[in-house]
């Protein structure tokens, strides 16, 4: 009966789900970073012509979705379902975008793991034959995240060396049951468990999320009977420099060696002169890198098999203030190009 489930946490799609179009948009700082030549649109003004940062974040997601749909030569009416989420309270950036687009909408919350979460859920929906065209999108804005989770922007405080920089950016991928055969496709997905190793430092998200990434990565290898060398690229979302080192150590402890094919979007996002300490974070981090650099490399054929794992820290400012530790989650999707 359950023919598509693989092992404990994974699913394998009977017909690989086509990613017919992708779009990425980022802020100025990201536009000066390592992927500047890959992003589709770089903001000239961090507020994107809006009056508040929250409105700007909403517009980022909206812009990514509208242009993603356009690039797929579809109309908004052709979209059967929109799967999206963001970091703001009650995921308003996504739901308000859905209101504007008049889209059938399922809101997701996986913190910074939302890109992988939406792709995994969306691929299930498409392969299950329920919907034809599904939009998967997420985004974040540095300033709206700072306002919600940390201090006012103009406060003259210092950031600790373990901190990461929330990426201003959004990404959108359109999954379809139709479309050309020569496109990037999702072959399998692994849904993560909520893992908590008792880290309470809100300025060290990499350490809080690395165990979740480790758990999902092991589950994926076991369920799919693969090993790290089988992939051209294993890419985590926003563990940052420290978090990715922790993941490599944790994996080695569990008998898996992550080699040169392992990388992290957050770690790669900025160059060293941009003083972001551990690198990028936020839902927009993995979303913008996946939907620009990674998809382009797959299309060019320089890499053929990617395991994309977006990690999220499932805390709220209230839970952190009440002394709770930070639970992490990580979802994985395997994307291939034949």
Partner 1 sequence: MDDKELHEKYNAYVQAKIPKTKNFPSLFYSYLVGGLICMLGQGISDTLLAIFPSMTKDAASAWMLIGLIFLASFLTGLGVYDRIGVFAGAGSIVPITGFSNSIASPAIEYKKEGIIFGLCVKMFSVAGPVIVNGLAVSIIVGIIYMFL
Chain positions contacting partner 1, by CB under 8 A: 51-52, 147, 151-162, 197-199, 204, 207, 211, 242, 245-246, 249, 277, 325
For helices 142-149 and 53-71, what crossing angle results, to 10°?
140
Residue found under tokens 């308000």:
96
Q: Give the shortest CB-208-to-partner 1 separation in angstroms.
A: 9
Nearest 10 degrees: CA dihedral of 305, 70, 288, 88?
-130
Closer CB to partner 1, 194 or 302, in the complex? 194
52: CB partners within 8 A, 6+ apart: none
**Least distance CB 9 / partner 1 (angstroms):** 20
| Closer Cβ to partner 1, 75 or 157, answer by number | 157
**Which residues pair with residue 22 across a beta bridge?**
173
Q: What beta strand segments (E) does 177-232 contain?
A: 185-190
CB of 295 to partner 1, least distance (A): 33
Residues of 185-208 as b/e, b for ≥16 C-beta within 10 angstroms?
bbbbbbbbeebbbebeebebbbbb
DSSP state of 294: I
For 107, residues 6+ apart whose C-beta sits below 8 A from its C-beta are 84, 85, 91, 94, 95, 98
Please identify, using beta-carbon distances, which residue of 198 and 255 lies nearer to partner 1. Answer: 198
Cβ atoms 326, 202 nearer than 8 A: yes
Q: Shortest gap between Cβ of 229 and partner 1 (angstroms)?
A: 26
Least separation in angstroms between residue 53's CB and partner 1 is 9
CB-wise, 27 or 179, nearer to partner 1?
27
With 0-12 / 13-18 / 19 or more C-beta atoms within 10 angstroms meaning exposed / middle / buried, residue 265 is buried
CB of 241 to partner 1, least distance (A): 9
The nearest distance, CB 44 to partner 1, in angstroms, is: 18
The dihedrals phi and psi of 143, each to the nearest 5 degrees, come to -75, -35
Is the CB of 130 or the CB of 151 nearer to partner 1?
Answer: 151
Q: Whole-number minimum distance, CB 107 to partner 1, in Å?
A: 23
Q: Which is nearer to partner 1, 147 or 304 (CB)?
A: 147
Q: Which is nearer to partner 1, 207 or 290 (CB)?
A: 207
Separation of alpha carbons 101 and 118, rounded Å? 18
Q: Where do we find the tokens 């909403």?
A: 58
Dist CA 260 CA 50 (whole Å): 42
| Closer residue to partner 1 (CB): 207 or 217 | 207
């Amino acid at each position: 009966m359950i023919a598509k489930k693989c092992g404990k946490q994974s699913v394998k799609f009977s017909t690989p789900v086509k990613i017919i179009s992708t779009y990425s948009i980022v802020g100025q700082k990201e536009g000066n970073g390592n992927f500047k030549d890959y992003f589709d649109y770089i903001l000239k003004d961090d507020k994107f012509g809006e009056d508040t940062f929250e409105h700007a974040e909403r517009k980022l997601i909206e812009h990514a979705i509208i242009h993603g749909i356009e690039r797929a030569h579809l109309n908004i009416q052709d979209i059967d379902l929109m799967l999206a989420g963001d970091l703001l309270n009650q995921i308003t950036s996504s739901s308000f975008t859905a209101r504007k687009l008049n889209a059938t909408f399922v809101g997701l919350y996986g913190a910074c793991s939302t890109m992988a979460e939406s792709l995994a859920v969306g691929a299930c929906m498409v392969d299950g034959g329920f919907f034809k065209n599904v939009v998967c999108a997420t985004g974040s804005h540095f300033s709206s995240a700072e306002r919600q989770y940390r201090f006012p922007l103009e406060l003259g405080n210092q950031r600790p060396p373990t901190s990461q920089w929330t990426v201003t950016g959004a990404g959108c991928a359109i999954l379809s049951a139709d479309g050309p055969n020569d496109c990037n496709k999702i072959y399998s997905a692994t849904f993560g468990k909520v893992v908590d190793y008792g880290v309470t430092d809100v300025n060290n998200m990499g350490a809080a999320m690395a165990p979740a990434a480790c758990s999902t990565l092991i589950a994926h290898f076991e369920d799919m009977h693969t090993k790290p060398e089988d992939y051209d690229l294993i890419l985590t979302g926003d563990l940052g420099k420290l978090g990715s080192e922790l993941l490599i150590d944790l994996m080695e402890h569990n008998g898996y060696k992550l080699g040169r094919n392992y990388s992290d979007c957050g770690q790669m996002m900025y160059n060293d002169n941009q003083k972001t300490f551990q690198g990028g974070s936020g839902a927009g981090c993995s979303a913008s890198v996946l939907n620009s650099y990674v998809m382009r490399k797959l299309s060019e054929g320089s890499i053929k098999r990617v395991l994309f794992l977006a990690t999220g820290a499932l805390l709220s400012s209230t839970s952190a203030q009440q002394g709770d530790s930070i639970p992490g989650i990580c979802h994985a999707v395997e994307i291939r190009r034949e």
